[in-house]
Amino acid sequence: ALNVPLLSELYDKHPKPAHITFQYGTAGFRTLGDQLDSVLFRMGVLAGLRSKKLDGKTIGVMVTASHNPEADNGVKLVDPRGEMLETSWESHATALANVNTATEFVDALDAFVKAVKIDLSKPARVVYARDTRPSGPALVAALEDGLKAIGAEAHDEGVQTTPILHYIVRCLNTKGTKDEYGEPTPDGYYNKLATAYKKLVGTKTTLQPLVVDCANGVGFFAIEKIAPLLDSHIKLVPQNVAVDTLGVLNHACGADFVKTQQKLPPSLASVLKPGERACSLDGDADRLMYYYLDERGQFHMLDGDKIAALVTAFISDLVKGSGLEGKIEVGVVQTAYANGSSTKYMEDRVPVRCVPTGVKHLHHAAEHFSVGVYFEANGHGTVLFSPSCLETLRTHEPSTPAHATSLKHLLSLTELINQAVGDAVSDMLLVEAVLAHRSYSGEQWDSLYADLPNRLVKVSVPNRNVFKTEDAERRLVSPPGLQTKLDELVRKYEGGRTFVRPSGTEDVVRVYAEARSRGHVDELAFKVAGIVY
Ligand code: 16G
Ligand code: ZN
C-alpha cells in the first residue's frame, strides 16, 4: 500500500506555486528552474510507480533544460529501453503535477494505481542525473524526496549528459539478456564508443583536429573523458568549457545558437581558421551541429539534414558492399523542417518518411526500417538497427574479403551509434568516422547537395491551440481557410514551400519557409507571418 503519512509529510515540503499550471510537453516539464521543486518531487513518485508497473525495471529521470537558457530547467522520465516515457503516461504526469493539496495528491495516486493496475508490492528502481545548471542540485533533492516517499531504490549518476543517462537505463534493463547493451556506467559508455570508433576508422585518421563547442555545459565532461581513449585517432579541441561560470550555459554558443542564428559562435572567431571544421553540442549534449569556414573564411552550416545525408549514403554503400542489398533496407525519417534539397537527395537513394516534430515520432518511425536513420534539422538524431538486422549482421557469411570488411564496419557502427536516443558525442564520432573513410573535408561533405535558402520565424498569437495540422504538420486544417491562402501565396515563389505549426514548447506559432533565393524566402516568410497573425 502507499505510505500515506510519509507521502503527505514529504509532499508538504514541496509546495506547488499557486498560479502555475504545469504540462508534460514534448520533452517533459520545462520552465524556470526555481518553479519546478514540486514537479520534481511528484516525478520522483511517478518514476517509482512507473518502475513498479513494469515489474521493477529501472526507470530514468533526467533533470535538464537542454539548449534553453541557464535559468530554465526541466525533467523527463526515461523508459526501460532508454526511450522517452510512453505517451499515455504523459497525461498522468501532468495531472499529478497540478494537484493542490496533500490529500488530493494521495487520492490521485490511489485512483491512478487502481486505474492502471499497479502492484505496489513490486520493487521500484530509478536512476537519475542532471546537467550543469545551478538549479540542478536543489531539484535533485526534491526528486530524491519523491523517490523516498514511494520507497524506490534510487541511484544518483550525478552530472551526466542526457544520452549517457539513457544509455545507462538501457544497459541496466538488458543486463544478462540477449539484448545486452553494455556496462551500465559512464565509463562503460566511453569505452564502448571509443573502442567502436577505433575499430571503424582503423588507420584512417582524420586530417585535422576537431574544434568542439561544448556550450559551457555537461558535454565538456564527456569530451574530456572520451578524448584520451581515442588515442591518436582523432584530436578533439574543446571550446566553451566554462561549466562553473554562472550565466554562460548555451549563451552565444551551442548547437541551438548555431542553428537558429546560422552563424559561428563569436567565441570561436579567433579559434577556427579558414578551411577548418567544428561542431557544437547543446546544453545536455543530445544535439549536434557541424560547420566549417571555407578558404575565404565564410561560415557554412552542416545541420542535422546534412548529417543524415552523409550517414545514409555511407551506410547504404556498406550494405551494398557487404552483399546484403535486398536483405537490409536503409530508410530515412525526417520532419517538415528538413530542407527540400535534403529530402530530394535522400529520396533519390532510399525510402523517406516525414513525421511530426519531436524525437518520439522520429524514433518510432525509424523502428520500421532495418536501418532507420532519423535526424531533425536542429541536430537531434541517431540511427536504429532493428533486432533482425542485428541478427543478419551477426550471422551473415561474407563471400569475399571486401564483403567481410564492409560487414565489419557495419557491426562497428552498431556499437558506435547510441541506439537509445540522439547523442551528440556518439553522432560526432560517427560523422568523424565517415569523413575519415570518405576523405571528405567539410566543403566536400557540404557539396552532397545545396540547401535551399530557408527561414524560421515565430509569431505570437492570441491562442496557438486554434492551429491544427495534418500530413506531418505540413498543412493546416484549422483555422479554416488559412491553408488555402498559404497555397495561393506559395505558388508565386519558385521552389517555394511553407508550413505553419503551433510550438510544443513555447507559446508561439512557428512559420517555416524556403525558396530558391534569399530575397524570396524572406518575403515569403514575412507574408506568411502576416497571414497567420
Ligand atoms: C523538443 C523536442 C525536439 C523538437 C523541439 C521542437 C524531444 C526530446 N525534443 O525540444 O525534438 O525539435 O521540441 O520544439 O522530443 P517546438 O515544438 O517548440 O518547435
Ligand atoms: Zn538537448
Mutate to test the pocket of ligand 1, among 505, 507, 511 (most ligand atoms within 8 A of CB): 505
Measured in Å, residue 104 CA sits from the centre of ligand 1 at 32
What is the DSSP secondary-structure string of 441-469? -HHHHHTTSPPPPEEEEEE--S-GGG-EE
Which residue has 499497479 as its cell numbers?
A: 118
From the list 12, 2, 3, 21, the residue with the least C-alpha distance to 96 is 21
In ligand 1, the atom with minimum distance to the C-alpha of 380 is 11
Q: Nearest residue CA, atom 5 of ligand 1?
A: 358
Measured in Å, residue 66 CA sits from the centre of ligand 2 at 4
Gyration radius (Cα) of the chain, Å: 23
From the list 337, 273, 349, the residue with the least C-alpha distance to 309 is 349
How is domain 454-532 classified at the architecture level of CATH? 2-Layer Sandwich (3.30)
Q: How far is CA 475 from CA 272, 363, 497, 502, in A?
A: 41, 22, 11, 12
Ligand 1 within 6 A of CB of 162: no
66 flagged as catalytic? yes
- Sheet of 236-239, strands arranged across: 236-239, 210-213, 277-281, 288-293, 299-302
pTM of the model: 0.96
Which whole number is the average pLDDT over 500-517?
A: 93
CATH number 3.40.120 is the correct assignment for the domain at 314-418: yes
Any known ligand binding at 119?
no
Beta pairing partners, 30: 74
pLDDT tens profile 143-162: 999 999 999 999 999 999 99
Which whole number is the average pLDDT over 483-492?
A: 98
The pLDDT > 90 percentage for the chain reads 96
| Residue 491 reports pLDDT greater than 70 | yes
Any known ligand binding at 216?
no
Ligand 1 within 6 A of CB of 457: no
pLDDT tens profile 102-118: 999 999 999 999 999 99
CA atoms of 483 and 191, how far apart (whole Å): 51
Options 3.40.120.10, 3.90.1150.10, 1.10.3470.10, 3.40.630.30; which CATH number does 4-159 get? 3.40.120.10
This model of the complex carries an ipTM of 0.97
**CATH 3.40.120.10 occupies which residues in the chain?**
4-159
Any known ligand binding at 503?
yes
State residue 104's pLDDT score.
97
Ligand 1 within 6 A of CB of 287: no
Alpha helices in 227-379 (DSSP H): 254-261, 304-321, 340-347, 359-366
In ligand 1, the atom with minimum distance to the C-alpha of 422 is 8
Q: Nearest residue CA, atom 4 of ligand 1?
A: 358
- Catalytic hit among 8, 38, 51, 66: 66
Mutate to test the pocket of ligand 1, among 23, 357, 382 (most ligand atoms within 8 A of CB): 357
**CATH 3.30.310.50 occupies which residues in the chain?**
454-532
- How confident is residue 203, by pLDDT bands cut at 50, 70 and 90? confident
Which residue has 552532397 as its cell numbers?
A: 448
Ligand 1 within 6 A of CB of 503: yes
- How confident is residue 204, by pLDDT bands cut at 50, 70 and 90? confident
Ligand 1 within 6 A of CB of 506: yes
Ligand 1 within 6 A of CB of 498: no
State residue 385's pLDDT score.
98
Any known ligand binding at 378?
yes
Measured in Å, residue 389 CA sits from the centre of ligand 2 at 29
Mutate to test the pocket of ligand 1, among 26, 162, 334, 457 (most ligand atoms within 8 A of CB): 26
In ligand 1, the atom with minimum distance to the C-alpha of 359 is 15
Amino acid 123 reads P
pLDDT tens profile 352-363: 999 999 988 999
The number of the ligand nearest the C-alpha atom of 219 reads 2
State residue 207's pLDDT score.
64
Ligand 1 within 6 A of CB of 357: yes
Which residue has 565517415 as its cell numbers?
A: 434
Mutate to test the pocket of ligand 1, among 259, 359, 361, 503 (most ligand atoms within 8 A of CB): 359
Any known ligand binding at 317?
no
Measured in Å, residue 118 CA sits from the centre of ligand 1 at 31
| Residue 206 reports pLDDT greater than 80 | no
Any known ligand binding at 74?
no
